[in-house]
Amino acid sequence: MTTPAPDRSAAPRPQPKPGLMDIHAYVGGKSKIEGIAHPVKLSSNENVLGCSEAAKEAYRTAVDRLHLYPDGKANGLRAAVAERYRLEPERLTFGDGSDEIFALLCQVYLEPGDNIVQGEHGFAAYAIGARACQAEVRMAREPGQRIDADEIAKCIDERTRLVFIANPANPTGTWLTGEEIRALHAAIPPSVVLVLDGAYAEFATDPRFEDGLDLARTAENVIVTRTFSKIHGLAALRVGWGYGPAGIIEPIERIRPPFNTSIPGQEAAIAALADLEFQAHSVDLVEQWRPFLAQQLGGLGLEVTPSAANFVLVNFPDQPGKTAREAEAFLATKGYLVRAVANYGLPDAIRITIGLEAHNRAVVELLSEFMGR
């Protein structure tokens, strides 16, 4: 029997709908350390190289049009993305970062009593969007910190509407092969939308990795999302996009806020997309230093989760003096910010963004000092 909703009309002041104040607001990676003017920020998976010079110039050029509304359909950027990835432009949607697309999907598909399924260490934005729609969030076990199709399938029932999968995953960095993604899709009922969050897809260079766009091209219940925040280094401009069938894109477009991506954001994104050299340099940096961190930190007795993203997840022993929380605090005293991930169900781990050579070597030296204390 359904519990009746409380009568908010008799309240002494306006009341939010039930459950909203139980949501834990998203908390980003730390950016400040008291007493240290310019800490090294390796806590938010930002592109340590910055962004394309062409994107900067496009941003500067847009300054004289700040009084104008942007193109609400982002047609220039739409054409650029469609050409780059060989996609049908009418099957694209654009958001204030891919986070907005997640929230819009929740608005489109979720009613009170419905549910979404995600991995137990899944990105917090999925759950926030679902709970804002008064839906249940089901966390599937991740054996070995990896998404498992069987565990996802166990959580699905007749009220499941969305399954959120980041590939590669955040905060673990683990990833699924194309074959595994197709098996996962096959285990999901056709009435359930599979959301493939590809925020870190450009950093996954193993030939077995697939970005999901081909699956979304042919399946009626798959949408792939991407962002300009990571590989392109445009995190401040908040531009994301999604590609899927008309049956998913059209309802999103009906409720998408007008003018949700700005003129500077759209034009910087177009320029960034064309700068293949900057993208290659960004990938090369990660491919050089990601295995370095894994090997060096592994040599200190720390378990590093295999990653296909621009960060590594480092697992610490549950031993006083050597815990993840203490390691994070120790690095902060030395001017290095990393990300504690206890709120993602990983209390014994920290996430470290791949930095420049000097940053990566310093992190190894500092953690060597920490572990040897």
The domains of the chain are located at: 29-49+277-371, 53-274
Helices and strands counted in the chain (H then E): 12, 13
C-alpha separations of 168 from 113, 121, 255 in Å: 29, 12, 28
* pLDDT attached to residue 1: 46
Give backbone dihedrals phi and psi of 178, rounded to 5 degrees, phi first.
Answer: -60, -40
Residue 180 contacts residue 209 (beta carbons within 8 Å): no
CA angle 365–369–373, rounded 5-degree value: 170
CA angle 91–200–338, rounded 5-degree value: 145
Cβ neighbors of 60 (< 8 A, separation 6 or more) are none
* pLDDT attached to residue 24: 76
pLDDT < 70: residue spans in the chain? 1-5, 26, 29, 31
* pLDDT attached to residue 29: 67
E strand map for 212-353: 222-227, 240-243, 303-305, 311-315, 336-337, 339-340, 349-353
Q: What is the token pair recorded at 120? A: 């137990």
* pLDDT attached to residue 17: 77
To the nearest 10°, report the CA torsion of 100, 101, 107, 109.
-160
Cβ neighbors of 362 (< 8 A, separation 6 or more) are 40, 334, 336
Hey, which CATH number is domain 29-49+277-371, 3.40.50.970, 3.90.1150.10, 3.30.930.10, 1.25.40.10? 3.90.1150.10
* Of residues 367, 359, 365, 289, the one with CA closest to residue 328: 367
Q: Which residues of 35-52 are buried (b: 16+ CB within 10 A; e: fewer)?
A: eeeebbbbbbbbbbeebb
Q: What is the token pair recorded at 148? A: 């498992």
Cβ neighbors of 138 (< 8 A, separation 6 or more) are 115, 116, 117, 118, 155, 160
Residue 348: helix, strand or coil by DSSP?
coil
DSSP string, 15-60: -PPTTGGGSPPP------BTTBSS-EE-SS---TT---HHHHHHHH
Q: Taking the CB of residue 215, how many other CB atoms lie within 10 A of it?
A: 18
* Of residues 70, 75, 104, 105, the one with CA closest to residue 89: 75
Strands in 115-119's sheet, in edge-to-edge order, are 92-95, 240-243, 222-227, 193-197, 160-166, 115-119, 136-140
CATH architecture of 53-274: 3-Layer(aba) Sandwich (3.40)
d(CA 368, CA 362): 10
Query: Residue 68, exposed/middle/buried by CB under 10 A (0-12, 13-18, 19+)?
Result: exposed
Q: What is the pTM of this model?
A: 0.92
Q: What is the token pair recorded at 132? A: 């804002």
